[in-house]
Amino acid sequence: MNERMRIGELAERAEVTPRTVRYYESLGLLPHGEREGGGQHYYRPEMVLRLRKIEQLKKLGLSLEEVAGVIDLYFTDPSGLRAKHKVLGMLRAHLATVDQKVGELQQARDELQAHVVRFEQWLEVQKKG
Amino acid sequence: MNERMRIGELAERAEVTPRTVRYYESLGLLPHGEREGGGQHYYRPEMVLRLRKIEQLKKLGLSLEEVAGVIDLYFTDPSGLRAKHKVLGMLRAHLATVDQKVGELQQARDELQAHVVRFEQWLEVQKKG
DNA sequence: GCTAACGTTGACGTTTACGTCATGTTTATG
DNA sequence: CATAAACATGACGTAAACGTCAACGTTAGC
């Protein structure tokens, strides 16, 4: 009963809109939901995870085009040893760029915290003086 | 000789374009450069830092409007004890949201790394088998 | 089996964050 | 002091990432 849902439920579970789902399908970011006889599309629950991952990567500052270039690394495991090694290389490269970005943001956070601390200490001194 | 520059140099040092500087001025993100007699604007070197900070906050996913709401917390220290306490509160709130965002991105990074490790271990096993 | 809720397709609209001229003025340099 | 390089201002253009509306077909609950 948890198997396969329509676009409305998928969108809701992934906290996006149906429009966004269709837009991503049109960009090849998301496989098209399969039709069952009628004209409507049905999606497997794992697509929720894929959508969430796409949103995560967007928050890292990747464009949808860039996301399209890496999203498969997360969700399709390649058949064949050769392909697996290739994908591993790409995953490492991807991890490196993500590390870079997160590192910069972490630094911004640390600078902000340092600023807050300086501020607090200044006020501490005033209270004693 | 390091004191005050024109828009071209400011932009270059902050790694943005002059257009961006003017756009930010128009949004109130950046104070307008002061004119010296003629029609041209001159900027003090600290504006480079302000611009860099704006770009940092953008990378954290803040819109320019949101940046406008917090950028002064970094660069203007309020006069008056009352005001200082108020700003401290805002700084702490800002730090909390930044922590939230960076935390999520850090988690995305960790998930990616875990994925890479799983991949590596799988290949390790294959080599031995 | 009817009706409300949901989905489909296509097209046009919107917001954010600038890019890119055009035209006139200002500044720096040989 | 002439002239190229840089700046000012205004207007229009653009790319990304969707929003929104219309017109029509599908599905689900009573």
Distance CA A72, CA A50 (A): 9
The reply to whether residue A102 touches residue B104, judged by beta carbons under 8 angstroms, is no
Axis-axis angle for helices B64-75, B46-59 (nearest 10):
140
pLDDT digits (tens, 9 = 90+) for B7-61: 999 999 999 999 999 999 999 999 999 887 778 999 999 999 999 999 999 999 9
**Vertex A43: Cα angle to A41 and A48 (nearest 5):** 140
Q: Report the pLDDT averaged over residues A107-111.
A: 98
Please, what is the average pLDDT of chain A?
94
pLDDT digits (tens, 9 = 90+) for A82-104: 999 999 999 999 999 999 999 99
pLDDT digits (tens, 9 = 90+) for B98-125: 999 999 999 999 999 999 999 999 988 8
Q: In the structure, how far is the CA atom of residue B19 from the C1' atom of nucleotide C19, in angstroms?
A: 8
**How many distinct helices (H) and strands (E) make up chain A?**
5, 2
pLDDT at A129: 65
pLDDT digits (tens, 9 = 90+) for A48-74: 999 999 999 999 999 999 999 999 999
Name the residue among A110, A65, A64, A49 with its Cα closest to residue B106: A110
A50, with CB counted inside 10 A (0-12, 13-18, 19+), is buried
Q: Enumerate the domain spans of chain A.
A: 1-76, 79-129
Type of residue at A2: N
Question: Is A33 within 8 Å of A7 (Cβ atoms)?
Answer: yes
> Which residues of chain B make contact with A95, given a CB cutoff of 8 A?
109, 112-113, 116
- A8 and chain B in contact, CB less than 8 A: no
pLDDT at B1: 47
Q: In the structure, how far is the CA atom of residue B6 from the C1' atom of nucleotide C17, in angstroms?
A: 23
Measured CA to C1', what is the nucleotide nearest A12?
Answer: C6
pLDDT digits (tens, 9 = 90+) for A3-34: 799 999 999 999 999 999 999 999 999 999 98
CATH fold, domain B1-76, is Multidrug-efflux Transporter Regulator; Chain: A; Domain 2 (1.10.1660)
> Which residues of chain A make contact with B112, given a CB cutoff of 8 A?
74, 91, 94-95, 98
> Which residues of chain B make contact with A57, given a CB cutoff of 8 A?
108
pLDDT at A1: 47
Q: In the structure, how far is the CA atom of residue B16 from the C1' atom of nucleotide D18, in angstroms?
A: 26
